[in-house]
Amino acid sequence: MLEIDLGAIVANWRALCAQHPSGPVAGVVKADAYGLGARPVAAALYDAGCRHFFVAYLEEALCVRDMVPDAMVAVLSGPIPGTEAVYAEHDLTPVLGSLAEIDAWAARGPAILHVDTGMSRLGLSAANLDTLAADPARLNGLHLRYVMTHLVSSEDPEHAVNEAQRHRFAAARSRLPAAPASFANSSGLFLGEHFGTDLGRPGAALYGINPTPGQPNPMRAVVRLRVRVLAVRDIPTGASVGYNATWIARRPSRIATAAFGYADGFHRSLSGKTTACFDGTPVPLVGRVSMDLTTFDVTDHPGVQPGCWFEIIGPHQGVDDLATMAGTNGYEILTSLGRRFHRVYLPA
């Protein structure tokens, strides 16, 4: 059972607004709101007063559009040629990141201009900016809602690239028509007032991922994941558990089999590396995580019976903790959370 606390998401958004006094704070709800459900999340943020949303793709924008009437819904990946009319029809804001996209969009309505200051993925390059400076008429008729760029390493406040990007962004803006700016993602909001602009763009921190790694997490936890124990069995010393017999009982043991696995986004790399929480105490995961089933050593937990629940994500072990054990980040843990879990939304 995956519990998603919409009230915590709204509280996190309010905290991030306080962290960004220079302008409003958008909600980044791409990838189905980092796996948590774009429609309910966008609706809760809208009710709280959020009026700017970012998604990655056009389909995601169409999915949330009716939940956030009159709010800006911007599509980060840029319009695929031929889809411009769909943007206009649904009042979606494209993020233009190439000269071709600028030319194709022309004067169809408001747009955001994306400048590349170090990511080298999307956005106008330095050479593109030279071209535009030489031919400013190319931007005639374009209603620039924002000029934006994206930080490379904002979770590392010591990294020199943060300042370098700030300077490159300022230089790029000085070569473009005057327009409001959008800069900081979640961690960028914690880099100090120099990174404040006319629109913050956090995603991860809304969903409880720590935007200040190595420091206490200023955000509220949003997800709680519990899984059901299907079976409990006694095995003798020497018996193996799971695929490839990676765990062998060194004493007569009790093994609980829980109803989840890597098909639910519980990374196979967590085999043997993490614990569940039962009755406030940690229960070690043993053997390989398999597709639909995962095994735990409950020899020291006589209260565990078929039908009881193990907590996998909760106060004992947060999303970031699980990410560290799995060798990834919280973003990947959240966006991997499977669609088979029964989802319960706690209202805002």
Ligand X SMILES: *Cc1c(COP(=O)(O)O)cnc(C)c1O
Residues that are catalytic: 30, 243
Nearest CA-CA partner of 284 in 269, 293, 273, 292: 273
Q: Is 316 exposed, middle or buried, given 0-12, 13-18 or 19+ CB atoms closer than 10 A?
A: middle
Cα separation, 60 vs 78, whole angstroms: 13
Q: Which is nearer to ligand X, 186 or 271 (CB)?
A: 186
- For ligand X (CB under 6 A), the number of binding residues is 11
Q: Name which position in 8, 28, 67, 132 contacts ligand X (CB under 6 A).
A: 28
Name the residue with tokens 């374009």.
Answer: 142
Residue 162 within binding range of ligand X, rule CB under 6 A: no
Residue 33 within binding range of ligand X, rule CB under 6 A: no
Residue 202 within binding range of ligand X, rule CB under 6 A: yes
Q: Which is nearer to ligand X, 187 or 271 (CB)?
A: 187
Residue 150 within binding range of ligand X, rule CB under 6 A: yes
The nearest distance, CB 150 to ligand X, in angstroms, is 4
| Strands 52-55, 72-75: pairing kind | parallel
334 Cβ contact partners less than 8 Å away, ≥ 6 residues apart:
34, 35, 36, 207, 209, 223, 319
Q: Name which position in 186, 197, 210, 274 contacts ligand X (CB under 6 A).
A: 186
The nearest distance, CB 214 to ligand X, in angstroms, is 16
321 in Cβ contact with 293 (< 8 Å) = no
For helices 6-18 and 38-48, what crossing angle results, to 10°? 50
Looking at the DSSP bridge assignments, the partners of residue 13 are: none
Residue 75 within binding range of ligand X, rule CB under 6 A: no
Residue 203 within binding range of ligand X, rule CB under 6 A: yes
Residue 165 within binding range of ligand X, rule CB under 6 A: no
Which residues 293-322 are close enough to bind ligand X by CB under 6 A? none
Binding positions for ligand X, rule: CB under 6 A: 28, 30, 76, 150, 185-186, 201-205
